[in-house]
């Protein structure tokens, strides 16, 4: 099998697996579920991944890599900061309001609560670092474009990340209204280190 075909099959497995994890979470998923969803044989799946956990971490890493690549590409095109930041927040708003029942979030939390080895914690920290780096890329673009002050941006990125993470929990457990989300976005924007007061 060529490398290109192998990568195509691996991508198809991950795409199918993402659907399974989005629907069932992580705890209840079996290799049989992943075989059925991907349409390949059990032996074929085991050529790529040895366990449900291995498939899950690969799905999460691919998703994070794709999200960060999109932000980096937008920054390279010098998209106006406000456009990129608003698009980032709009994507989260859409997910919080309409995609929580078809989201990897439940599976991510199940992983966090059930996987306690140092390697598991390192994986989780890496995912948060990728999210923080994505937000930092947007903020650095604002500095480069002269709309944000060149100050310590890591605490600002963490604030954005922690706000969204808290909203994730609320959206999963009790739901959020569009007004609640917009109120939080206004507070986040007000707290950015603008060059000129907003």
DSSP calls for 74-137:
HHHTT--HHHHHHHHHHHHHHHHHH-GGG-SHHHHHHHHHH--SHHHHHHHHHHHHHHHHHHHH
Domain regions of the chain by residue span: 52-190
**Mean per-residue pLDDT of the chain:** 92
Please answer whether residues 13 and 55 qualify as being in contact, where contact means their C-beta atoms are separated by less than 8 angstroms.
yes
CA angle 178, 174, 28 (to 5 degrees): 120
pTM of the model: 0.85
User: Hey, what are 149's tokens?
Assistant: 């002050």
Contact status, residue 175 vs residue 146, Cβ threshold 8 Å:
no
CA 178 to each of CA 40, 54, 141, 181: distance values in angstroms, whole numbers, following the listed order:
41, 36, 27, 5
Instruction: Check whether 70 has a pLDDT greater than 80.
Output: yes
Residue found under tokens 């390697």:
119
Give the Cα separation of 105 and 94 in Å (integer).
14
Where do we find the tokens 């990568």?
7
Cα–Cα distance, 167 to 171 (Å, whole number): 6
pLDDT, tens digit (0-9, with 9 covering 90-100), for 119-163: 999 999 998 898 899 999 999 999 999 999 999 999 999 999 999
Q: What is the pLDDT of residues 22-46, one digit of tens each?
A: 999 999 999 999 999 999 999 989 9
Q: In CATH, what is the architecture of 52-190?
A: Orthogonal Bundle (1.10)
Res 2: pLDDT: 82
% of the chain residues with pLDDT over 70: 98
Which residues have a Cβ under 8 Å from the Cβ of 37 and sit 6 or more positions away?
16, 17, 19, 20
Q: Is 148 helix (H, G, I), strand (E, B) or coil?
A: strand
């Amino acid at each position: 099998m060529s490398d290109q075909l192998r990568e195509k099959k691996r991508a198809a497995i991950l795409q199918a697996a993402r659907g399974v994890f989005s629907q069932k979470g992580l705890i209840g998923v079996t290799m049989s579920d992943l075989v059925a969803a991907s349409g390949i044989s059990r032996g074929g799946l085991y050529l790529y991944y040895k366990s449900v956990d291995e498939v899950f971490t690969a799905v999460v890493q691919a998703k994070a890599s794709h999200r960060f690549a999109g932000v980096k590409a937008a920054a390279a095109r010098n998209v106006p900061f406000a456009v990129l930041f608003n698009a980032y927040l709009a994507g989260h708003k859409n997910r919080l309001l309409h995609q929580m029942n078809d989201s990897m979030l439940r599976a991510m939390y199940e992983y966090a609560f059930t996987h306690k080895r140092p390697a598991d914690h390192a994986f989780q920290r890496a995912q948060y670092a990728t999210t923080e780096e994505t937000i930092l890329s947007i903020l650095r673009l604002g500095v480069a474009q002269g709309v944000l002050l060149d100050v310590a941006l890591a605490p600002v990125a963490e604030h954005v990340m922690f706000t969204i993470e808290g909203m994730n929990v609320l959206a999963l457990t009790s739901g959020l209204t569009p007004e609640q989300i917009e109120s939080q976005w206004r507070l986040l924007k007000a707290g950015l280190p603008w060059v000129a007061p907003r």
